[in-house]
Structure 1
């Protein structure tokens, strides 16, 4: 099963306007926010991430509730976190 997982934007990569660093439960990764170009993603925003791409912006309350729910899924959540740990966008 593939899930979308919330992450908080912690850094905008100036040299690559479509890339940002996000924090997902303590894991930091670079993701692509090109699909949200019209929404103006900024540091502190929460985004819903799937396979290295931000699919939508969400508010912090929804992000935290989603993370709490995902943690209850056990293996599916752990599989998604493992995939995030193994991912890398340069």
Structure 2
């Protein structure tokens, strides 16, 4: 099973579209993610991250729904935590 987790993009590093990286916050954890697949992503956006790659930009409401679902399934904290 593959799982993409939503996180909030904090900042973006790099100009080259293929090497563009960003710091993404997942609750209290911050990880680097490659942003090659989401050139439209800007700081403050929510992105779905799978295997170190941001694969889609989603709205805050969808991110909260997904995080709440994961929390209910025992996979972490909900958006309201």
User: Normalised by the shorter chain, which TM-score bucket?
Assistant: 0.7 to 0.9
Question: C-alpha deviations, 1:11-62, integer Å up to 9, x for none?
Answer: 112477510000011110000010112xx21110000111111110000010
TM-score by length of 1: 0.73
Q: Which runs of 5+ in 2 are unaligned?
A: 77-81
Q: Which has the higher contact order (CA 8 A, sep 6+)?
A: 1
1:61 corresponds to which residue? 61
Which residue of structure 1 aligns with residue 30 of structure 2? Answer: 28
Aligned length, in residue pairs: 74
Confirm whether residue 2 of structure 1 aligns to residue 8 of structure 2.
no
Q: State the partner residue of 2:79.
A: none
Computed over aligned residues only, the root mean square deviation of the Cα atoms, in angstroms, reads 1.7
When you count strand as a share of all residues, which structure comes out higher?
Answer: 2
CA distance in structure 2 between the aligned counterparts of 1:48 and 1:67, rounded to whole angstroms? 11
